[in-house]
């Protein structure tokens, strides 16, 4: 694997997409569904704008050119994944083309019910963790041949953490006086030093609260595979610190049979995401977002200090 650090580029400029625009796209390209009502989905996404189409479908439109790179990937791979995974995932019903003033390819999916995961909504944290680990184990078992490697289509998920070193250092500079920068740098270095054995597998790339759906408090579906790809699956471990309890985190790790190096890299993914979120929240005076990021940072610090990260891991994952 190359050690070159790719350029992540500037933050994408996201489009505003209206209900009327979506209605016209459906009318022009899928007239069989033209009489179905269109309504925005509450908290309908960042990388994509999501709209209800009738009672049983959704329209998903990338909000920037970078996110549109995932459309063809999802249409190729999600139907192949569906029968191999233990939980429902989105399966595209139709692919739309640019039109009605909208410049990118877009998708229609069947609606998957459920509510986004949250610590206060999960009925049994350990069972949730084991179920999620089982899903990721199944995903990793799918043949990675011909799968997309890390790149701009998924913001280099599955690649080296060194891609994000500049962002981590910038975040720590912005957070001077707000966090224990020395401990954060120690944890980050341990993640960078933890070698990957190079065995590629599929990963989701954005295992986060909003992409894990619950039914009656139990994990019921996994959505939003826009950042999926083939490479180092350690990026999917960040959820162990961002959502799982300490007991759930241990059960998650045991079910996945994760070694020290892979666990350290997963911790690094969680640290990068959390520091970036906290720096943004502090700069924007967003107290609610900052409180959530500080909670996660505390989980990372305490788990590392408890012993699993007391020394930089060596060897493969």
Mean pLDDT across the chain, nearest whole number?
A: 93
Q: Which residue has the tokens 């459309």?
A: 71
Spatial distance between the Cα atoms of 206 and 154, rounded to a whole number of angstroms: 9
The class level of CATH for 19-112 reads alpha beta
What is the pLDDT, as a whole number, of residue 316? 39
Among residues of the chain, what percentage have pLDDT more than 70?
A: 93
- The encoded tokens of residue 132 equal 């999620």
Domain ranges of the chain: 19-112, 116-308
**Residue 310 pLDDT exceeds 50:** no
C-alpha radius of gyration, the chain, whole number: 20
Condensed to tens digits (0 to 9), the pLDDT of residues 160-192 reads 999 999 999 999 999 999 999 999 999 999 999
pLDDT at 43: 81
* Average pLDDT score over residue span 210-232: 97
DSSP 3-state helix, strand, coil percentages of the chain (rounded to 5)? 45, 15, 40
pLDDT at 9: 62
Pick the closest to residue 159 from 8, 45, 308, 296 (CA basis).
8
Which of the four pLDDT bands, split at 50, 70 and 90, describes residue 312? very low
CATH architecture of 116-308: Alpha-Beta Complex (3.90)
226-236 pLDDT per residue, tens = 999 999 999 99
pLDDT band at 116 (very low <50, low <70, confident <90, very high): very high
Beta bridge partners of 231: 201
CB distance 122 to 128 below 8 Å: yes
Question: Identical fold at 19-112 and 116-308?
Answer: no
Neighbour tally for 135: CB within 10 Å: 21
pLDDT band per the 50, 70, 90 thresholds, residue 12: confident
> Would you state the structure tokens that stand for residue 3, as one six-digit string?
């050690």
Residue 184 exposed, middle or buried by CB count within 10 Å (0-12, 13-18, 19+): buried
Q: What is the pLDDT of residues 235-271, one digit of tens each?
A: 999 999 999 999 999 999 999 999 999 999 999 999 9
Structure confidence by residue, pLDDT tens digits, 63-109: 999 999 999 999 999 999 999 999 999 999 999 999 999 999 999 99
């Amino acid at each position: 694997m190359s050690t070159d650090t790719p350029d992540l580029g500037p933050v994408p400029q996201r489009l505003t997409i209206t209900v009327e625009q979506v209605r016209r796209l459906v009318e022009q390209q899928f007239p069989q569904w033209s009489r179905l009502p269109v309504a925005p989905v509450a908290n309908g996404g960042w990388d994509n704008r999501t709209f209800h189409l009738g009672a049983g479908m959704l329209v998903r439109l990338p909000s920037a050119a970078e996110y549109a790179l995932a459309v063809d990937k999802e249409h190729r791979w999600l139907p192949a994944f569906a029968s191999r995974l233990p939980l429902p995932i989105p399966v595209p019903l139709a692919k739309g083309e640019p039109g009605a003033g909208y410049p990118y390819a877009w998708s229609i999916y069947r609606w998957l019910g459920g509510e986004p995961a949250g610590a206060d909504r999960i009925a049994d944290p350990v069972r949730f963790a084991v179920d999620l680990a089982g899903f990721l184990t199944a995903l990793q078992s799918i043949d990675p041949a011909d799968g997309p490697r890390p790149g701009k289509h998924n913001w280099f998920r599955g690649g080296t953490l060194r891609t994000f070193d500049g962002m981590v250092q910038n975040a720590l500079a912005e957070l001077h006086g707000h966090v224990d920068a020395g401990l954060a740098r120690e944890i980050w270095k341990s993640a960078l030093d933890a070698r990957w054995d190079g065995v590629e597998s599929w990963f989701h790339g954005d295992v986060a609260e909003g992409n894990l759906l619950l039914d009656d408090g139990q994990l019921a579906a996994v959505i939003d595979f826009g950042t999926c790809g083939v490479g180092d699956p350690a990026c999917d471990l960040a959820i162990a610190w961002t959502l799982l309890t300490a007991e759930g985190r241990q059960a998650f790790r045991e079910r996945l049979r994760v070694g020290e190096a892979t666990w350290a890299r997963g911790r690094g993914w969680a640290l990068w995401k959390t520091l970036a979120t906290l720096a943004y929240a502090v700069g924007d005076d967003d107290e609610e977002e900052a409180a959530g990021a500080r909670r996660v940072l505390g989980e990372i610090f305490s788990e590392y200090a408890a012993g699993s990260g007391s020394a930089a891991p060596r060897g493969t994952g």
